[in-house]
Structure 1
Amino acid sequence: MTVLGAYRGLVRDDLGWLNTAGRPDPAETFHRANLPRVGLDDVAAAATGVMCSVALYLHDGDLISNLTFVSAGTAGGTLTNQIAALYSRTGALLAQSADKTSEAWAADTAKTFALATPQRITKSGIYYAALAVAASTVPTLAGTVGAKPFLAGEVNLSQTSGSGIGATAPATIATPAFKRAVPLVIAT
């Protein structure tokens, strides 16, 4: 028996899919993604003014300047606020984007949010990429469904928090609630 139980391989190899999701040629463009780009469907992000945050594994040394979310079958309607933010594993705000206010968001369209201050990651691990949209119709996002955590130390793959969020991201992810729908996010 090894320290890893019955697993005899390299743990990094077993978890490699977390770091290569959607990366056909990682030498071309640096990015990190929380999901592969296959098997995705139309998922609801969150209600208007509610933040949806998804777990995203980042590496020590990564420089994160942008967060990209991809709308699915439903376009945004009468948009008033659209922000993205990057949070630490503890839920502390690291950086947020400018508010895209009423900028259109069509169906099946990637929207990139530039962080006001690019973040150099100093410790590999789970971070949270968040999106909050205030609109009469919040766009659905490309994503998948995930299970609720059940093992000690697991985190929500997707969660909602807050209400009435407009142009400013909350300082912390307060009282997150598990969300089954897990939107795709790409960090560059």
Structure 2
Amino acid sequence: MTLLGTFKGNPRNDLGWLNSAGRPDPDVTFHRANLPRVALDDVPAAATGVMCSVALYLQDGDLISNLTFISAGTAAASPTNYFAALYNGAGVLLAQSADQLTAAWAADTAKTLALATAQRITKSGIYYAALSVTASTVPTLVGSLGAKPVLTGEGNLSQTSGSTLTGTAPATIATPAFKRHVPLVIAT
């Protein structure tokens, strides 16, 4: 067996399709994303006032200033509060965006929310990018489907937590529940 296990091909050739997914070169435009830009669809975010957080791999030295989520076919109707937040792997809040209050969020629209304090990542690993929307209709998001963890040590790709949240992110991700729908998030 080799370093690549039983794979006998050239990894660059096998993963070449990712280069056609439209992402900018990360050496030119810094970004981190939890999903490739292929096979994405319209997925529900979470219920009103509930936070959805997704696993996002960040590397030592990354400076994260913004989190971007993209609405899909359903716009937010009558939003009263929404925010994005960044949590460490243990689920402890690092920073959140300002509460967007009643700002409109149309269908098929990328919403980039600036963190109140940019976060310099000091340890490579899994972090959680979160979004909570309180509205009469929560927007659907561009995303994918993920499987429930089955192996020891696997975490949720997407999870929900909290209830009746408004404009302030909770200090921790408490009692997360597995969520099959995984929204796309782009960290810049």
Q: For 1:145 and 1:29, locate their aligned partners in 2 and report how far apart those are by CA, in whole Å.
A: 27
Matched, 1:84 2:80: no
Q: For 1:22 and 1:145, locate their aligned partners in 2 and report how far apart those are by CA, in whole Å.
A: 21
Q: What amino acid does structure 2 have at the position aligned with 1:155?
A: G
Q: Which whole-Å deviations, capped at 9, do the CAs of 1:64-106 have from their partners, x for residues lacking one? A: 0000000000000000001000001100000000000000000
Cα 1:26–1:174, aligned 2, differ >3 Å: closer, same or farther? same
Matched, 1:173 2:169: no
Equivalent in the alignment of 1:71: 71
Shift of residue 23, structure 1, vs aligned partner: 2.8
Q: For 1:5 and 1:150, locate their aligned partners in 2 and report how far apart those are by CA, in whole Å.
A: 21
State the superposition RMSD in angstroms: 2.6
Matched, 1:29 2:42: no
Alignment of 1:31-110 (within 5 A): 31-110=31-110
After TM superposition, the score normalised by the length of structure 1 is 0.90
Q: For 1:89 and 1:186, locate their aligned partners in 2 and report how far apart those are by CA, in whole Å.
A: 17
Equivalent in the alignment of 2:156: 156
Q: For 1:168 and 1:23, locate their aligned partners in 2 and report how far apart those are by CA, in whole Å.
A: 31
Q: For 2:128 and 2:110, locate their aligned partners in 1 and report how far apart those are by CA, in whole Å.
A: 19
Q: For structure 1, which segment, 106-115 or 1-10, has the greater mean C-alpha deviation from structure 2 after superposition?
A: 1-10
Cα 1:38–1:6, aligned 2, differ >3 Å: closer, same or farther? closer
Cα 1:8–1:39, aligned 2, differ >3 Å: closer, same or farther? closer
Equivalent in the alignment of 2:119: 119
Q: What amino acid does structure 2 have at the position aligned with 1:187?
A: A
Q: For 1:59 and 1:27, locate their aligned partners in 2 and report how far apart those are by CA, in whole Å.
A: 14
Q: What amino acid does structure 2 have at the position aligned with 1:98?
A: A
Cα 1:56–1:170, aligned 2, differ >3 Å: closer, same or farther? same
After TM superposition, the score normalised by the length of structure 2 is 0.90
* Count of matched residue pairs: 187
Alignment of 1:12-27 (within 5 A): 23-27=23-27
Q: For 1:22 and 1:148, locate their aligned partners in 2 and report how far apart those are by CA, in whole Å.
A: 28
Q: Which whole-Å deviations, capped at 9, do the CAs of 1:134-158 have from their partners, x for residues lacking one? A: 0000000000000001011111000
5+ unaligned residues in a row in structure 1: which ranges? none
5+ unaligned residues in a row in structure 2: which ranges? none
Cα 1:170–1:9, aligned 2, differ >3 Å: closer, same or farther? farther
Q: What amino acid does structure 1 have at the position aligned with 2:34?
A: N
